Amino acid sequence: MKTQSDKPMLRRTVRTIGFVLLSLLPGLSQANQVNLNINLATPVMEADQRHRAFIKVSLEGFKQQDQQARIPANVAIVLDKSGSMGGDKIQYAREAAIMAIKRLDERDIVSVVSYDSRVQVVVPATQVRDQQSIYHAIRDVHASGNTALFAGVSKGAHELRKFLSRNKVNRVILLSDGLANVGPQSASELGELGASLAKEGISVTTIGLGLGYNEDLMTRLAGFSDGNHAFVENAADLASVFQYEFGDVLSVVAQGVNIEIHCKNGVTPIRLLGRESEIMGNRVTTRLNQLYSEQEKFVILEVEVPKQAAETELELVSVKVAYDNLFTQHQEQLTGQSMARFSGSAQEVEAARDDKALEAAVEQVANEYSRDAIEARDSGDLAGAKKILQDSASYLGSQAESLSSPRLQEQQEEALQDADELETNQDWNKQRKELKARQYKRATQQTY
């Protein structure tokens, strides 16, 4: 039986995770480097058996030493002003945008675009100097017409390009309450737009207001560009969402993050949880558009490990990370590896387990259950969707008990509640938006 005192000792013996080689610039302070950690959930495995294992690859942005030294922002706010935004909605949207812009200063660039059937540049890309004129232009936005969402985002990106720089945080913030019904309208088309913008170093945050927008489209656009996504049921909550969003924008420390994972020694990649990725043979690649100060972003790689004799040590994966450090204005690299040891002792296997890495993996697996439940519900299989959520709750419950995890227990209760709410067959539109927003936040470790 393991004790709290022997578990850390065993981990020190068997874990080689978090081994990081840094390509350092002369004189560069350690304080301005991203941290890479590679955590194998089961660093000691039972000998003479094949295993499925989870590897957590995490990156943590360094602390901004001085708010005055933060990276300048280049932000385009794209506001839906179609007819459905009339009344309180457009008023709250205008005031939320103004409150957020008050956090900027003359180092930053802001533009404002509005769209209905057509697109209008309300504030061309400009340094934030004459704030009152910016506020006045925003307050002059009124609701009417249809929803040319694709064109609105494209025009926002066009304004960003006037001052586009690898040394700025380039972000489109899209607010919409309705379905795109002018121009390209599908989730796949908007996803392609997001992916294209990401290649330019532009991310898109999507804010869905009310119950009339397309959450698949909005999460796809945000996901492919590595922006944030929020579901805001009540327009009065827009101000807090904009404040959180601008907090993220003003805390970016690294951009253009590319992650390569190479599986070694017969280890086979199964799937990458939490991010879009490409698996080619034994090589897995994914990317993040940005990292924030003191925030962790991670992916979970599930692999199949061939059986090994007792006392064997095996390198499972090597990892390479390249990113643009916005403070040094250089591209930097991190490398690391994950090792496993094999043992005939079940007690040793259990004692070495990395509970935090396993908890993160369980969350991501449960997130996949939730996605499958939406797919079943969308196809009309209400019973099937309910069973998937119940299976997810059962999985979360067993892992919560094994790991003594209140976090997983809370998610078990959440999954059961989601399953119960499906039974009523009412308010699915709202529940679906809540599920999609929750899935997105867990997959990307979004903090709001």
| Angle (CA) 356 358 361, round 5° | 115
User: Which neighbouring-strand residues pair with 313?
Assistant: 341
pLDDT digits 0-9 by tens, 287-317: 999 999 999 999 999 999 999 999 999 999 9
Torsion of Cα atoms, 24 then 59 then 320 then 74, to 10°:
-80
Ranges of beta strands (E only) in 48-117 are 51-60, 73-80, 109-115
pTM score: 0.89
Overall CATH class of domain 6-66+253-353: mainly beta
Residues of the chain with CATH 2.60.40.3670: 6-66+253-353
pLDDT at 27: 42
Place 10 in a pLDDT band, splitting at 50, 70 and 90. Answer: very low
pLDDT at 6: 42
- Provide the 8-state DSSP code for 165: -
Closest by CA to 56, choosing from 44, 72, 39, 43, is 39
- Provide the 8-state DSSP code for 37: E
pLDDT digits 0-9 by tens, 43-96: 999 999 999 999 999 999 998 876 667 899 999 999 999 999 998 999 999 999
Place 38 in a pLDDT band, splitting at 50, 70 and 90. Answer: very high
Residues of the chain with CATH 3.40.50.410: 71-250
What are the tokens at 258? 């590319």
User: Which neighbouring-strand residues pair with 111?
Assistant: 76
User: Which neighbouring-strand residues pair with 117?
Assistant: none
Q: Are strands 268-273 and 296-305 parallel, antiparallel or unpaired?
A: antiparallel
Residue 401 half-sphere exposure toward CB, CA atoms < 13 A: 5
pLDDT at 67: 61
Overall CATH class of domain 71-250: alpha beta
What are the tokens at 40? 């194998």
- Provide the 8-state DSSP code for 9: H
Q: Are strands 268-273 and 330-343 parallel, antiparallel or unpaired?
A: unpaired
Q: CA-CA distance, 197 to 202, in Å (whole number)?
A: 5
pLDDT digits 0-9 by tens, 139-181: 999 988 888 899 999 999 999 999 999 999 999 999 999 777 7
Q: What is the mean pLDDT of residues 7-19?
A: 36
Task: State yes or no: pLDDT of 5 exceeds 70.
Answer: no
Task: State yes or no: pLDDT of 7 exceeds 60.
Answer: no
Nearest 5°: phi and psi at 210? 75, -155
Q: What is the mean pLDDT of residues 407-423?
A: 95
Nearest 5°: phi and psi at 266? 80, 5
Residue 97 half-sphere exposure toward CB, CA atoms < 13 A: 34
| Angle (CA) 158 162 167, round 5° | 110
Burial grade of 44 (CB within 10 A; 0-12, 13-18, 19 or more):
buried
pLDDT at 16: 36
pLDDT digits 0-9 by tens, 102-131: 999 999 999 999 999 899 999 999 999 999
| Site of tokens 């005192």 | 5
| Angle (CA) 367 358 447, round 5° | 55
Distances (CA, A) of 168 to 30, 205, 294, 375: 22, 16, 19, 38
Q: Note whether 37 and 320 are within 8 A (CB).
A: no
Place 26 in a pLDDT band, splitting at 50, 70 and 90. Answer: very low
Place 11 in a pLDDT band, splitting at 50, 70 and 90. Answer: very low
pLDDT at 423: 75
Lowest mean pLDDT among 29-43, 228-242, 246-260: 29-43
